[in-house]
């Protein structure tokens, strides 16, 4: 195994039972991601990108092959170990933000730190730092229904980033946003990637996201169709 | 985390309001019913103890077998000696001899002819000796409607309603026609000292109360009494001790002798055992009923809440919260809801009970024709138990309801979370 790799996937196959037969969502995938990458899994619906994101996020296990994430073999993790990996090392950003609607912005961002049992003073500092990264320090007491879609997604980014995860997994993060907000969100993520060296892995078919990626892994019918690095990548879009 | 959960309950009224209302209503009813049962049933038991059954009762074996017929021919004899013996052996009880009898009250006109006549059941009790506690025990002084208390031999008290039906007033004379202990006809003149209303149908229907020595004279029952009642000095019935006393007393008696005295505790007498048992077990029944009923409602509320919070649970699982932890946090929430609902419900229940603790609701009309002694009003009695009893169904039902509703968390597949959270 490559010790520099944050994600290493070897001959990974994932299939699901469908009646008496089975459906193969991922077939013989080989990939390696290093720390600090800003990479996307690109492909149409049904290409297997969310399935792969699930496995990398320790939400699912491979049928065969190996997936190592942050030096942990996903296939051999117990449910509790998988939860601990997600809690300590991974951040998630969802298409629909999935904020806790009844809680304030501060409390939404604070929640992952509560799971980590970080003390109150430290929590407050970390939450305020995360909100500063996304430019929402003035919305601390607001609740999600009072925010715009772009602001909600920025809160979701702050929530994913607040514990300084090694890897952030984002599933179609701009699907519900207009172009201006999408660019704003993506610029925020690029900035965090560069400043905090956090690895970002996207699942997307949105051109706006694709335009920001440094590495593009194209999936088609559960297989890696192309894996390319962007030459002359400029941080400011 | 606890603060986070409480904030969630506070912000999200639909998460907390319905369960708290359900718990508060259930707890309120549980507290009120317990106070009602303690009050009404307890009062019924004590009323029967004071008027008819005592906390223990001594009769001859034969009298006990035919008690409903008031068979004074089977009465206890040499009662003074027996009472002395009982007082020495069981000093925690106050002993009172009584004679119960049936007969006719005949009211004459100015010519001595019968003006009116009516059947009566009477009681001869110790009204005139200084050490007697019977007047206070039966609340006679406070029950007098017209006239005054019996002050000398030859005076009697009649039920107010009965006296009005007969047209006899305080100061008038009347004759008690009955049967002596030996089976002869008995005629005895009394002067009506006053009229009574005990406030319960069975006693007020047609009763006459006379001093026990007058009853003995009238019924030819020298040093005899139908029953000897023992009442605990504390005023409260202690079933365990009463049974122990009865067992000890009966152990020394001759089983073959029909005229030998036999002692029965309150619970060993007709219907009273069940009543005491129901009174004692009622709290358990109330708690059990409300736990089941509220748990069912809260289970459903929890299931609906689980559907509404499906996204929240999903994102929490995705962020790395363990299923066990998520399940536990739901139980913490339910404890908070249970406590809040129980506090509100207990306060409301105590308030409702306090409204009925004084005068209560008059149920005299409902008790017409009743042979059993019931209080004339439904009164609650607030006891220390009422301050905590509601917390048992309040907390248990919310916890059980949540535990059942929350089991769905364990069925959640993390592999579906991304898909589910896209919706």
| ipTM here | 0.85
Question: Smallest CA–CA separation between B340 and chain A, in Å?
Answer: 20
Assign B201 a pLDDT band (cuts: 50, 70, 90).
low
Averaged pLDDT, B95-113: 90
Total domains present in chain B:
2
> Average per-residue pLDDT in chain A?
87
Question: Smallest CA–CA separation between A96 and chain B, in Å?
Answer: 6
Helix (H, G, I), strand (E, B) or coil at B121: strand
Selected residue of A89, A100, A203 to mutate for chain B interface (largest B Cβ count, 10 A): A100
Question: Is the pLDDT score of A52 beyond 70?
Answer: yes
Question: Smallest CA–CA separation between A95 and chain B, in Å?
Answer: 6
Is A107 in Cβ contact with B7 (below 8 Å)?
A: yes
Averaged pLDDT, B47-76: 88
Averaged pLDDT, B176-201: 89
Q: Which of A1-10, A96-105, B46-55, B384-393 has the lowest mean pLDDT?
A: A1-10
Is B415 in Cβ contact with A54 (below 8 Å)?
A: yes
CA dihedral (A92, A96, A97, A101) positive or negative: negative
Is A59 in Cβ contact with B417 (below 8 Å)?
A: yes
Q: B400 in a domain, yes or no? A: yes
Question: Is the pLDDT score of B212 beyond 90?
Answer: yes
Asked if residues A70 and A91 have their Cβ atoms less than 8 Å apart, the reply is: no
The interaxial angle of helices A179-196 and A120-133, nearest 10 deg, is 130
Q: B285 in a domain, yes or no? A: yes
Q: Does A14 touch chain B (CB under 8 A)?
A: no
Structure tokens at B33: 């019913």
Partners of A220 in the beta sheet? A223
Nearest CA in chain A to B7: A103
The answer on B142 and B25 residing in a single domain is no
Structure tokens at B130: 């200084």
Q: Comparing C-alpha atoms, which of B203, B187, B215 is closest to residue B98?
A: B215
Q: B293 in a domain, yes or no? A: yes
Nearest CA in chain A to B414: A59
Count residue pairs from A and B with Cβ separation < 8 A.
83
Selected residue of A14, A54, A79, A102 to mutate for chain B interface (largest B Cβ count, 10 A): A102
Among B185, B209, B234, identify where a domain stops: B234
Question: Is the pLDDT score of B346 beyond 80?
Answer: yes
- Sequence length of chain A is 237
Assign B14 a pLDDT band (cuts: 50, 70, 90).
confident
Helix (H, G, I), strand (E, B) or coil at B327: helix
pLDDT at residue B85, as a whole number: 93
Question: Is the pLDDT score of B368 beyond 60?
Answer: no
Which DSSP helix (H) or strand (E) runs through B270?
Answer: none
Assign B220 a pLDDT band (cuts: 50, 70, 90).
very high
pLDDT at residue B101, as a whole number: 92
Terminal CA-CA length for chain B: 27
The β-bridge relationship of strands B93-108 and B173-179 is antiparallel
Three-class secondary structure assignment of chain A: CCCCEEEEEEEEEEEEEECCEEEEEEEEEEEEEECCCEEEEECCCCCCHHHHHHHHCCCCCCCEEEEEECCEEHHHCCHHHHHHHHHHHEEEECCCCCCCCCCCHHHHHHHHHHHCCCCHHHHHHHHHHHHHHCCCHHHCCCCHHHCCHHHHHHHHHHHHHCCCCCEEEEECCCCCCCHHHHHHHHHHHHHHHHHHCCEEEEEECCHHHHCCCCEEEEEECCEEEEEEECCCCCCCC
Measure CB to CB from residue A102 to each of B11, B320, B322 and give the nearest one.
B11
Assign B364 a pLDDT band (cuts: 50, 70, 90).
low
Q: Which residues of B touch A59 (CB under 8 A)?
A: 318, 414-415, 417-418
- The fraction of chain A above a pLDDT of 70, given in percent, is 96
Is B419 in Cβ contact with A59 (below 8 Å)?
A: no
Question: Smallest CA–CA separation between A88 and chain B, in Å?
Answer: 8
d(CA A236, CA A178): 19
pLDDT at residue B111, as a whole number: 84
Q: How open is the CA angle A107-A110-A113, to the nearest 5 degrees?
A: 150
Domain, as residue range, for B107: 56-234
CA dihedral (A147, A152, A157, A160) positive or negative: positive
Asked if residues A115 and B319 have their Cβ atoms less than 8 Å apart, the reply is: yes
Q: Which residues of B touch A114 (CB under 8 A)?
A: 1, 4
By CB atoms closer than 10 A (0-12, 13-18, 19+), residue B384 is exposed
pLDDT at residue A106, as a whole number: 94
The answer on B104 and B27 residing in a single domain is no
Averaged pLDDT, B307-326: 84
As a 3-state breakdown, chain B gives helix, strand, coil percent values, each rounded to 5, of 55, 20, 25
| CATH number, position A84 | 3.40.50.300
Is the pLDDT higher at B42 or at A68? A68
List residues of chain B with CB under 8 Å from any CB of chain A.
1, 4, 7-8, 11-12, 15, 311-312, 314-323, 325, 414-415, 417-419, 421-423
The answer on B289 and B148 residing in a single domain is no
Name the range with the highest mean pLDDT among A133-142, B34-43, B75-84, B368-377: B75-84
Among B234, B264, B294, identify where a domain stops: B234
Q: Compute CA A66 distance to the chain's CA centroid, rounded to the nearest angstrom.
A: 20
Q: B183 in a domain, yes or no? A: yes
A residues 175-234 lying closer than 8 A (beta carbon) to B: none
Domain, as residue range, for A183: 37-57+78-229
Q: A70 in a domain, yes or no? A: no
Question: Is the pLDDT score of B248 beyond 50?
Answer: yes
By CB atoms closer than 10 A (0-12, 13-18, 19+), residue B163 is buried
d(CA B107, CA B101): 18
Cα atoms in the 13 Å half-sphere on the side-chain side of A209: 25
Q: A87 in a domain, yes or no? A: yes
Is A87 in Cβ contact with B319 (below 8 Å)?
A: yes
pLDDT in tens, A181-236: 888 888 888 888 888 888 999 998 888 889 889 999 999 988 989 998 887 766 54
Is B323 in Cβ contact with A96 (below 8 Å)?
A: no
Question: Is the pLDDT score of B360 beyond 90?
Answer: no
Q: A24 in a domain, yes or no? A: no
Averaged pLDDT, B48-55: 85
Q: B250 in a domain, yes or no? A: no
Question: Is the pLDDT score of A105 beyond 90?
Answer: yes
Total domains present in chain A:
1
Q: B368 in a domain, yes or no? A: yes
Beta strands in B31-125 (DSSP E): 56-60, 93-108, 114-125
Is A100 in Cβ contact with B8 (below 8 Å)?
A: yes
pLDDT in tens, B173-185: 999 999 999 989 9
Averaged pLDDT, A136-148: 90
Asked if residues B395 and B296 have their Cβ atoms less than 8 Å apart, the reply is: no
Cα atoms in the 13 Å half-sphere on the side-chain side of B120: 34
Is B315 in Cβ contact with A83 (below 8 Å)?
A: no
Averaged pLDDT, A124-131: 92
Name the range with the highest mean pLDDT among A132-136, A181-185, B181-185, B213-217: B213-217
Nearest CA in chain B to A113: B1
pLDDT at residue B369, as a whole number: 53
pLDDT at residue B221, as a whole number: 93
Q: Which of A41-55, A112-126, B21-35, B274-288 has the lowest mean pLDDT?
A: B274-288
Residue with tokens 């898909």: B419
Q: A20 in a domain, yes or no? A: no
pLDDT at residue A236, as a whole number: 47
> Average per-residue pLDDT in chain B?
85
Is B312 in Cβ contact with A171 (below 8 Å)?
A: no
């Amino acid at each position: 195994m490559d010790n520099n790799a944050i994600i290493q996937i070897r001959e990974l196959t994932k299939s699901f039972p469908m009646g008496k037969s089975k459906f193969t969502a991922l077939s013989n995938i080989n990939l390696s991601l290093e720390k600090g990458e800003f990479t996307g899994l690109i492909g149409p619906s049904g290409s297997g990108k969310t399935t792969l994101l699930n496995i990398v996020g320790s939400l699912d296990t491979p049928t065969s092959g190996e997936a190592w994430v942050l030096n942990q073999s996903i296939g051999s993790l117990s449910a509790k170990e998988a939860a601990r990996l997600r809690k300590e090392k991974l951040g998630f950003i969802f298409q629909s933000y999935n904020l806790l609607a009844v809680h304030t912005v501060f409390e939404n961002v604070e929640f992952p730190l509560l799971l980590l049992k970080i003390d109150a003073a430290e929590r407050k500092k970390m939450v305020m730092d995360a909100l500063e990264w996304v430019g929402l320090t003035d919305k601390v007491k607001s609740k999600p229904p009072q925010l715009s879609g772009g602001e909600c997604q920025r809160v979701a980014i702050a929530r994913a980033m607040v514990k300084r995860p090694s890897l952030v997994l984002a599933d179609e993060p701009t699907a519900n946003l207009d172009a201006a907000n999408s660019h704003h969100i993506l610029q925020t993520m690029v900035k965090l990637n560069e400043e905090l060296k956090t690895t970002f892995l996207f699942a997307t078919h949105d051109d706006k996201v694709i335009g920001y990626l440094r590495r593009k892994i194209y999936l088609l019918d559960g297989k890696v169709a192309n894996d390319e690095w962007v030459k002359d990548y400029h941080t400011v879009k | 985390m606890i603060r986070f959960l409480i904030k969630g309950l506070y912000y999200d009224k639909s998460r907390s309001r319905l369960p708290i209302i359900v718990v508060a209503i259930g707890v309120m009813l549980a507290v009120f019913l317990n106070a009602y049962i303690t009050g009404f049933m307890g009062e019924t038991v004590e009323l029967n103890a004071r008027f008819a059954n005592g906390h223990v009762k001594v009769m001859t074996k034969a009298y006990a077998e035919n008690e409903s017929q008031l068979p004074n021919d089977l009465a206890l004899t040499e009662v003074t000696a027996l009472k002395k013996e009982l007082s020495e052996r069981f000093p925690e009880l106050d002993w009172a001899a009584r004679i119960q009898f049936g007969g006719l009250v005949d009211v004459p006109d100015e010519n001595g002819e019968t003006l009116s006549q009516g059947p009566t059941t009477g009681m001869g009790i110790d009204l005139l000796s200084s050490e007697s506690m019977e007047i206070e025990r039966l609340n006679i002084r406070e029950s007098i409607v017209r006239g005054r208390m019996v002050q000398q031999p030859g005076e009697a008290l009649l039920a107010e309603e009965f006296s009005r039906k007969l047209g006899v007033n305080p100061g008038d004379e009347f004759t008690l026609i009955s049967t002596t202990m030996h089976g002869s006809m008995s005629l005895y003149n009394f002067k009506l000292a006053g009229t009574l209303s005990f406030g319960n149908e069975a006693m007020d229907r047609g009763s006459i109360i006379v001093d026990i020595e007058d009853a003995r004279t009238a019924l030819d029952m020298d040093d005899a009494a139908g029953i000897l009642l023992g009442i605990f000095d504390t005023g409260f019935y202690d079933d365990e001790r009463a049974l122990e006393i009865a067992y000890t007393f009966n152990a020394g008696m001759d089983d073959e002798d029909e005229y030998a005295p036999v002692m029965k505790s309150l619970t060993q007498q007709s219907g009273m055992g069940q009543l005491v048992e129901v009174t004692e077990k009622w709290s358990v029944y109330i708690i059990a009923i409300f736990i089941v009923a509220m748990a069912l409602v809260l289970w459903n509320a929890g299931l609906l809440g689980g559907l509404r919070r499906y996204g929240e649970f999903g994102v929490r699982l995705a962020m790395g919260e363990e299923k066990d932890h998520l399940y536990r946090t739901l139980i913490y929430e339910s404890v908070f809801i249970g406590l809040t609902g129980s506090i509100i419900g207990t306060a409301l229940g105590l308030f409702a009970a306090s409204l009925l603790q004084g005068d209560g609701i008059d149920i005299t009309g409902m008790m017409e024709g009743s042979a059993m002694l019931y209080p004339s009003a439904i009164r609650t009695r607030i006891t220390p138990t009422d301050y905590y009893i509601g917390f048992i169904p309040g907390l248990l039902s919310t916890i059980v309801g949540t535990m059942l509703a929350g089991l769905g968390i364990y069925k959640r597949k993390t592999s579906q979370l991304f898909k589910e959270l896209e919706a």
